[in-house]
A and B are shown apart, each in its own frame.
Chain A
Amino acid sequence: MAHRLDTGGRLIDRAAPMDFSFNGKGFRGFAGDTLASALLASDQMLMGRSFKYHRPRGVVARGHEEPNALMNIGAGPFFEPNQRATVTPLTEGLEAESQNHWPSLETDAGAVNGLLSRFLPAGFYYKTFIHPRPAWKHLFEPFIRQSAGLGRAPKEPDGDRYEHFYRFCDVLIAGGGIAGLQAALKAGESGARVLLLEQAPVWGGRAAIDGDDVDGQPAADWIAGAVARLEAMPNVALHTGVMVSGVYDHGYVLAAQPVPGHRPGSSTSRERLWRIRTDWVEVAAGAIERPLSFAGNDIPGVMLAGAVRDYLADFAVVAGARTVVVTNNDDAYRTALALHAAGQAVPAIIDARAETDSPLIAAVREAGLRIAFGTGIAQVVGGKRVTGVRLCPQSGDGTMTEEIRCDAVAMSGGWSPAVHLFSQCGGKLTWDADQAFFRPDPERAPMSVDGTPFVFAVGAANGHLESAAAQADAAGTPIPAATEALIAPVWRMPAQAPVKLREKTWLDFQNDVKVSDVQLAAREGFESVEHAKRYTTLGMATDQGKLSNVNGLAVLGDALGREIPQVGTTTFRPPYVPLNMGSIAGEARGPIFQPLRKTPMDAWHESHGAHWEPVGHWRRPYCFQRSGESMEDAVAREILSVRREVGLLDASTLGKILVKGPDAGRFLDMLYTNMMSTLAPGRCRYGLMCSENGFLMDDGVVARIDDDTWLCHTTTGGADNIHGHMEDWLQTEWWDWKVWTQNLTEQFAQIAVVGPNARTLLERLGGMDLSAEALPFMRWAEGEIAGIPARVFRISFSGELSYEIAVPAGRGLELWERLVAEGADLGVAPYGTEALHVLRAEKGFIMIGDETDGTVIPQDLGLDWAISKKKTDYLGKAAQARAHMTDPERWKLVGLETLDGTVLPDGAYAVTEGNNELGQRNMIGRVTSSYRSPTLERGIAMGLVQRGPERMGEVLDFPLIGGGVTKARIASPVFYDPEGERLHG
């Protein structure tokens, strides 16, 4: 059985026991344990159920590559699924549970899937459950959802917080093993600014565990010396516990760090995402061991040989008292030696290779352990744990020659360089047939902006697996000769395994993909490795095939009659291991999830019943609710206040862009459809702005300030875009025009004072002559209002007498409060965006985003009066002359009056007889704006209707969702004060 030895374990502190729970049961481990090592130490072999067949699964690996031991960790707001137990540090009180078990880990009803496995082959749901159709939705899918899958999604918001951290360096080194340390020494000595990041809590990678010599010293001594030298270099920063997870174009690198000392619920950030810019990346990520493909290789107790050695060295934990080692390479002999040295029984080393020799093999012989060359495992015996192995000749069909009793199997199918970081942004790989792995091709490395390589692999990640070779590779010194005997590529064990064995031979533990599944995919025509991956799910999900990739390719290649390099690999994409969603979000949650833009009067609105509406990143009052009022009541009251007395609108959000220069007039003539260069100083003009394709994109009032200066008002949402649009044209097309633009949106607070009493109210504040004679409609003037420097624009978006007052933003609230106080007896009322919308709709004024949707040209909206016929050109003019744009059948703006006075649903379509070629009812128009008008006491709407203005008085049918039809008559869109007497008052 699995247990902890009485001595040893370099990472654990036996003086610091820690209690934790797994599936509700109490366990104890030590500080320094991982969750996996602590469970294994308590003989908890069973750590999960597999994805599809619910097979019992135990831990296989030591690190991030672990496919099986995935846990739900924590509870409530601190719950997180799919956590690898092998890298989850044990903490006091940790709560863990296994995944995909139902109803329990020990007794799993879903395991029946395993009995049905011949009916659940690769791609089974594409084939089996298609007919009858309703059965998928009501029968098969619920069953599959219940029985397949990994972790549960969290139900509560994450209780922790996260942060980003921007770092810069010349050389980033990913991995602090022998190669990474050596690479850092070399780069550090060159004077470069070096950042060395290691995912594990300790330096040195495998070398210290394996007891190799490096540069003539014991590995542990060399590692300690290298770390000490690096720490003394002021230009080198080195950190353990930070995992480089992604390498992107232009030297952008992401790394994830669990914040030291964090506990669930503590006020510190839980995880820190390092966002790094570097000139150069050295990938020293080591190598990942591959499983061997024999029947029963997924039974708990079968582990990677390197992992068996790691658990022994790091935690003094063994998976069994009798461990059979099975291998096709020398490295697993180290495991046999380590177990033997620790007093554990190793009944045999099963080596698939023909008899060979090397110092490691000799050492095992010397230790008196049995080696069986040319031998394979026919089948592992056991259910929820290993009880023995049946041996057979590797070259044969699995006919058993012998059975060995054991409780653990240490397997090694060779090692694959961890090429992920090299490959993520385009590095290509070469198949090394001698060593049976893909390694980075330095000739096809990821390129920097200047076309030179910027990602390099060193050490084991570069294919130099032995410690001395890894160190030499990173140091740039000659690579010493190999001491280990060559690996034999073994992709199936035994070579001629029949179907009954192949069906029990797992390639991908996490996704329950067997050798037989990949062979089936090949037979069914899935020749591309990317297609075969998706069809079989090989290499998908959280581990992304870290163990299974190469073995799967080999089996696919074999089935297709191709060599591995011809099959190729699937694409390595970042992140290397899944990142926590919270880390990606960083600080962006709660009140700072997104920037919230506030006007200078925001706090006043907040304390006066504002119901907020988002407009771009701004928040604007939708209406100001008084006690006892519904929102509809408030909107109606605000509208009537404006029509009868005086209303105040916070218009600070409108864009205000200053355009100045000798060519400014010419520039604005190109940007707007109408003529701005002829506007006289002191006057205002409403303007339309179109895209090059002719579509209306923004509108607003332009005021001419002086000879060479104009102030352009834009929509609230358009300010930044329009400023960008202006700069785009100035910098790329008209770079020689003398024009400056400056976005002054934030400099000014702007208040619209609107209604019959507007002038009276402003006169009370004093400072400027705002009479009809001094300041007629569409003029502006500069002066002081209530002692505040102000520009007053006589413009109207409501059809009422209206002034917009712009003052420095810092004094906006002061002016607002004065207006509210002085206007009390004049019936002054602040109004929000909904009243604004209804007021403009009553007057037939269009709203960008309601009447326009990116497909509408000004001519559709009857705005021909705002399009200059004199100008030779403006942006959009050529496009507006195209046949489709001048088609008389285009839908054009009209007003719509329901016959019964009700409100048309916004977006409703008008229909006519017959169906189109798709069998849909023919449509001839749609509603673009629709409101109840409190002024007119009925529903009003605007819409775009085919040949609309020619059809005045026609009644159209608007079918309603849920049945019924509303009838509406085509009318003028100007429902209120069509003569415009009020705004000129």
Chain B
Amino acid sequence: MAEHTVAITRVERLPQGGMITLRADLEAQEAVDLLGMVGLAMPEMRRIADTEAGQVAWMSPDELLILCPPERAAALAAQMAEACAGEHMLVAEVSDARARFAIAGPTSRQTLAKLCPVDLAPGRFEPGEIRRTRLAQVACALWMTGPEAFELICFRSVADYAETALNTAATQFDAGMSL
């Protein structure tokens, strides 16, 4: 075994995206209604719900992250805040709080498996799912954007750290690393 097959995963830092945090009881109808009012859908646990208006990622039993074009974020956040006035929910725009990365290539799963304690084997993690986990020593969340492509977000202040860690992990693979 151990045939040496070097491949390079592409790691790209993406421009700032639109992001809105919603804290709410996700099992309550009010939360479903709020999303519906702005054209969004409620995701299942650890999944992303995709609509034309944007993506809604499940972050915890009482937290969602809405992903939308950056130019829409402020208006959408304001619209949501207004719509849930009087309800016990929290809406905050967090577009600037995070950095985004695209990780792509046939070895993208292995690249992330060097840094993230997540089962990334094919069939165990597929498009439509999201995991909040850690990238080496910092918090991150990741999801797949295609069969061999991931998007990963982390806090803005550690973007350089995350980029270096990803690039370090993206350089070397061998047959022993099949997942």
Contact = CB atoms under 8 A, between A and B. Distances in A.
Interface in B128-146: 136-138
A662 to B, nearest CB: 6
B96 A658 contact: no
Interface string B99-134: 000000000001001111111110010000000000
A241 B114 CA distance: 18
Interface stretch (A103-111, A405-413, A561-569, A590-598): A590-598
B176 A261 contact: no
Nearest to A241: B2
B4 A597 contact: no
A572 interface: no
A167 to B, nearest CB: 7
B1 A261 contact: no
Interface residues of B, number: 50
B98 interface: yes
B160 A596 contact: yes
B108 to A, nearest CB: 14
A92 to B, nearest CB: 17
B139 to A, nearest CB: 10
A965 B160 CA distance: 49
Given A166-B113, A588-B137, A596-B161, A257 B96 contact: no
B164 A592 contact: yes
Contact of B96 (A277, A595, A598, A810): A810
A588 B4 contact: no
B97 interface: yes
Given A746-B156, A810-B95, A257 B137 contact: no
A486 interface: no
B169 A587 contact: yes
B90 A239 contact: no
Nearest to B118: A166
B93 A747 contact: yes
B96 A746 contact: yes
Interface in B66-97: 88-90, 92-97
A314 to B, nearest CB: 19
Nearest to A746: B97
Contact of A592 (B136, B156, B171): B136
B174 A592 contact: no
A275 B119 CA distance: 11
A618 B117 CA distance: 25
A740 interface: yes
B114 A165 contact: yes
Contacts of A661: 88, 90
Interface string A777-816: 0000000000000000000000000000000111100000
Contacts of B95: 747, 808, 810
A744 B94 contact: yes
Interface string B45-74: 000000000000000001000000000000
B9 interface: no
Given A166-B116, A662-B88, A587 B165 contact: yes
B177 interface: yes
A165 B95 CA distance: 31
A167 B164 CA distance: 22
A729 B129 CA distance: 31
A205 B24 CA distance: 58
A677 interface: no
Given A268-B172, A596-B160, A742-B23, A747 B94 contact: yes
Contacts of B4: 260-261
B3 to A, nearest CB: 8
A661 B90 CA distance: 8
Contact of A748 (B96, B119, B174): B96
B96 A740 contact: no
Interface in A212-239: 237, 239
Interface in A595-648: 595-600, 617-618
Contacts of A592: 136, 161, 164-165, 168
A283 interface: no
B158 interface: yes
Q: Is the interface of A mostly helix, strand, loop or mixed?
A: mixed
A871 interface: no
A239 B178 CA distance: 10
A397 interface: no
Interface in B151-179: 155-161, 164-165, 168-169, 171-172, 174, 176-179
A599 B113 contact: no
Given A592-B136, A744-B97, A239 B117 contact: no
A161, A167, A658: residue with the most chain B Cβ atoms closer than 10 Å: A167
A933 B173 CA distance: 58
A165 B118 CA distance: 10
A742 B137 contact: no
A744 B1 CA distance: 49
Given A746-B157, A747-B93, A748-B96, A164 B179 contact: no
A452 interface: no
A269 interface: yes
B150 to A, nearest CB: 15
A163 interface: yes
A764 to B, nearest CB: 25
Contacts of B24: 740
B115 A164 contact: yes
Contacts of A600: 156
A387 interface: no
B121 A809 contact: no
Tell which of B23, B157, B171 has the most Cβ of chain A within 10 Å.
B157
B137 A658 contact: no
A168 B119 contact: yes
Contacts of A166: 113-114, 116-120
Contacts of A237: 178
A618 B157 contact: yes
A685 interface: no
Contacts of A595: 136-138, 158, 161
In this complex, the member of A267, A745, A747 whose beta carbon has the largest number of chain B beta carbons within 10 angstroms is A747
Contact of A240 (B1, B90, B119, B164): B1
A242 interface: yes
A599 B97 CA distance: 11
Given A275-B117, A744-B92, A810-B95, A165 B177 contact: yes
A738 interface: yes
Contact of B16 (A167, A261, A810): A810
Nearest to A744: B92
A660 interface: yes
A658 B90 contact: yes
B176 A257 contact: yes
A259 interface: yes
Contacts of A658: 90, 92
Contact of B115 (A259, A587, A744, A808): A587
A171 to B, nearest CB: 15
Contacts of A617: 158
A277 B119 CA distance: 9
A242 B172 contact: no
Contacts of A259: 172, 174
Given A167-B113, A168-B119, A269-B172, 11 more contacts: A161-B168, A166-B118, A241-B176, A267-B171, A660-B90, A661-B90, A740-B88, A742-B92, A745-B97, A746-B96, A810-B95
Interface of A: 161, 163-168, 237, 239-242, 257, 259-261, 267-269, 272, 275, 277, 586-588, 591-592, 594-600, 617-618, 658, 660-662, 738, 740, 742, 744-748, 808-811
28 contacts: A165-B177, A166-B114, A166-B118, A260-B4, A261-B174, A277-B117, A592-B136, A592-B161, A595-B161, A596-B161, A597-B155, A598-B157, A598-B158, A598-B159, A599-B157, A661-B88, A738-B88, A740-B88, A740-B89, A742-B21, A742-B23, A742-B92, A744-B92, A746-B97, A746-B157, A747-B93, A747-B94, A747-B97
Closest 9 CB pairs of A and B: A260-B2, A597-B157, A740-B90, A809-B96, A168-B119, A746-B97, A740-B23, A747-B97, A808-B96
